[in-house]
């Protein structure tokens, strides 16, 4: 409470919604949600005790004394950290998120907007929550019945077995980047398959979110480094229990597996043809997307399942910090490892190893597919592929250059302004 007067009387925002939950070890916890600011904060029972007393009538000294009476300890550090978290998430009165002025005529705001959106630009669908709610109410609920889930499970098992058989027995008949010996056609199929699979992946998250009665905060299409993609923001699931959150996280990869399985079964029964090659590549994209999203070593669906299971936040960042700063010294000094140390150490080592395996996988793919494709492109034997690769490279490269240039310009402008302020301040007399 260093920066707060003991007479300060914090008051919780009346619009804040509260959802009880539990940690991995069964301890009670609570999620605070400000629907206007779209913020979520999970706190433990002790912090919730303090939160309930923040009615504008209790000053900080009164809060500390009430906590001491209840828990027989003074909460000075706890209270200071809690206030900082509450203010950062706009959960107290007087901490509403600032409205950004529309300064269209000035160059700096335009540069700031460009720097913020050059790598990721979202186009939100205003009626997304209404659409998913209506679809679930009319048709979507059927997909979550016991009969439907059993059918999906049988399809997934049959499809996965079919895909393994296709890869094991007929691998030479399929190419990851080729359709009818054309790399250009293969690239088009890869892009379209990824686009369609991503659409259904995000729809799976959205529809499952409505299964548990939670709101879709936003959804729509975005350009990520110049490439189109879909997204669904289901962060309102933080107001649900841990199990529903895990189910929603798994829904997207489950849809990928279902799509891949249906396509694999079709490929298995089709005679050799171009259509068969196209569907095999689409199935491969669906399965690879499922594996990628389920990998807890990347900040995708599997990662959020893991942090829900472990009930810990910022797992990836804390693990890398532990590996970089503390692991060697603990091993060298034979210091004790706490449960958190073990968790961060294992995760950090596995994430680092996965990076190395990814590089090895890239080398294998290079030797098996990409090296031949590059040779064809260099020889000009596939004009369509040359045009597509060049276009994609230019599109991604342009957005990267523009974004970096905008951020550099904003940084230089800020540095120049700060230097001018320092020089003017130093030049003034007493």
What is the mean pLDDT of the segment spanning 135-141? 94
Q: Which residues of 158-182 are buried (b: 16+ CB within 10 A; e: fewer)?
A: ebbebbeebeeeeeeebbbbbbeeb
Residues 345 and 322: beta-carbon distance below 8 Å: yes
pLDDT exceeds cutoff 90 at 262: yes
CA-CA distance, 58 to 18, in Å (whole number)?
Answer: 21
Close Cβ partners of 234 (under 8 Å, ≥ 6 residues apart)? 205, 206, 209, 214, 216, 217, 248
Q: What is the pLDDT of residue 430?
A: 43
Structure tokens at 46: 């002790």
Structure tokens at 106: 């000035």
**What SS3 class is residue 73?**
coil
Q: Is 312 exposed, middle or buried (0-12, 13-18, 19+ CB in 10 A)?
A: middle
Give the global pTM.
0.76
Report, in this order, helix, strand and coil percent for the chain, each rounded to 5. 65, 10, 25
Close Cβ partners of 238 (under 8 Å, ≥ 6 residues apart)? 19, 31, 33, 40, 42, 245
Cα 409 to its chain centre, rounded Å, is 28
To 5 degrees, how large is the angle CA 293–CA 296–CA 298?
A: 70
Cα 243 to its chain centre, rounded Å, is 18
CA-CA distance, 140 to 67, in Å (whole number)?
Answer: 47
Condensed to tens digits (0 to 9), the pLDDT of residues 28-38 reads 888 888 887 77
CA-CA distance, 334 to 336, in Å (whole number)?
Answer: 7
- Measured in degrees and rounded to the nearest 5, phi and psi for residue 2 equal -65, -35
Condensed to tens digits (0 to 9), the pLDDT of residues 383-422 reads 666 666 666 676 666 766 777 777 777 777 777 777 777 6
Condensed to tens digits (0 to 9), the pLDDT of residues 194-220 reads 999 999 999 999 999 999 999 898 899
Residues 215 and 235: beta-carbon distance below 8 Å: no
Residues 197 and 282: beta-carbon distance below 8 Å: yes
pLDDT exceeds cutoff 80 at 151: yes
Residues 100 and 68: beta-carbon distance below 8 Å: no
pLDDT band at 340 (very low <50, low <70, confident <90, very high): confident
To 5 degrees, how large is the angle CA 346–CA 349–CA 354?
A: 120
> Which position has the token pair 């070890």?
25
Residues 315 and 321: beta-carbon distance below 8 Å: no
Q: What is the pLDDT of residue 176?
A: 66
CA-CA distance, 303 to 295, in Å (whole number)?
Answer: 7
CA-CA distance, 408 to 120, in Å (whole number)?
Answer: 17
pLDDT band at 94 (very low <50, low <70, confident <90, very high): confident
Q: What is the pLDDT of residue 352?
A: 80
Q: What is the pLDDT of residue 172?
A: 63
Q: How far is CA 290 from CA 126, 253, 276, 286, 296, in A?
A: 28, 5, 21, 6, 12
DSSP-derived secondary structure letter, 10: -
CA-CA distance, 392 to 395, in Å (whole number)?
Answer: 5
From the CB of residue 388, how many other CB atoms can be counted at a distance below 10 Å?
A: 20
| Pairing between β-strand 28-34 and β-strand 17-22 as defined by DSSP bridges | antiparallel
Concatenated DSSP letters of 240-263 = S-HHHHHHHHHHHHHHHHHHHHHH
Q: What is the pLDDT of residue 104?
A: 41
Q: What is the pLDDT of residue 388?
A: 67
> Computed from CA positions of residues 51, 55, 56, 60, in that sequence, does the dihedral angle turn out positive or negative?
negative
CA-CA distance, 373 to 240, in Å (whole number)?
Answer: 48
CA-CA distance, 154 to 79, in Å (whole number)?
Answer: 53
């Amino acid at each position: 409470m260093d920066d707060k007067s003991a007479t300060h009387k914090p008051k919780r925002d009346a619009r804040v919604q509260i959802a009880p939950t539990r940690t991995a070890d069964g301890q009670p916890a609570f999620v605070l949600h400000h629907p206007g600011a779209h913020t979520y904060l999970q706190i433990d029972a002790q912090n919730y005790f303090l939160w309930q007393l923040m009615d504008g009538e209790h000053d900080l000294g009164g809060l500390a004394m009430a906590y001491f009476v209840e828990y027989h300890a003074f909460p000075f550090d706890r209270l200071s950290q809690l206030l900082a978290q509450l203010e950062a998430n706009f959960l107290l009165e007087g901490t509403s998120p600032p409205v950004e002025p529309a300064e269209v005529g000035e160059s700096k705001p335009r540069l700031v907007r460009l720097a913020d959106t050059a790598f990721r630009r979202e186009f939100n669908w205003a009626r997304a929550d209404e659409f998913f709610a209506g679809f679930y109410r009319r048709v979507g609920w059927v997909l979550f019945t016991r009969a439907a889930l059993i059918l999906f499970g049988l399809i997934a098992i049959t499809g996965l077995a079919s895909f393994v058989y296709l890869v094991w027995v007929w691998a030479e008949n399929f190419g990851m980047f080729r359709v009818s010996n054309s790399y250009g056609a293969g690239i088009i199929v890869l892009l379209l398959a990824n686009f369609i699979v991503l659409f259904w992946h995000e729809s799976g998250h959205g529809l499952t979110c409505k299964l548990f009665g939670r709101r879709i905060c936003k959804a729509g299409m975005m350009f990520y480094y110049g490439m189109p993609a879909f997204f669904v923001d289901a962060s309102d699931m933080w107001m649900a229990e841990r199990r529903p959150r895990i189910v929603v996280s798994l829904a997207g990869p489950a849809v990928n597996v279902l799509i891949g399985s249906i396509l694999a079964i079709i490929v298995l029964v089709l005679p050799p043809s171009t259509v068969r090659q196209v569907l095999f590549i689409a199935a491969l994209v669906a399965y690879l997307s499922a594996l990628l999203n389920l990998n807890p070593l990347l900040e995708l669906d599997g990662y959020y399942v893991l942090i829900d299971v472990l009930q810990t936040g910022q797992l990836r960042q804390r693990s890398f910090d532990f590996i970089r700063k503390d692991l060697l010294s603990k091993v060298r000094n034979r210091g004790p490892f706490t449960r958190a140390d073990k968790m961060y150490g294992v995760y950090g080592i596995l994430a680092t190893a996965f990076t190395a395996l990814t590089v090895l996988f890239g080398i294998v793919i290079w030797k098996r597919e990409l090296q031949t494709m590059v040779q064809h492109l260099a020889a000009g034997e596939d004009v369509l592929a040359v045009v597509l690769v060049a276009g994609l490279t230019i599109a991604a490269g342009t957005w990267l250059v523009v974004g970096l240039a905008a951020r550099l310009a904003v940084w230089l402008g800020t540095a120049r302004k700060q230097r001018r302020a320092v020089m003017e301040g130093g030049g003034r007399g007493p």
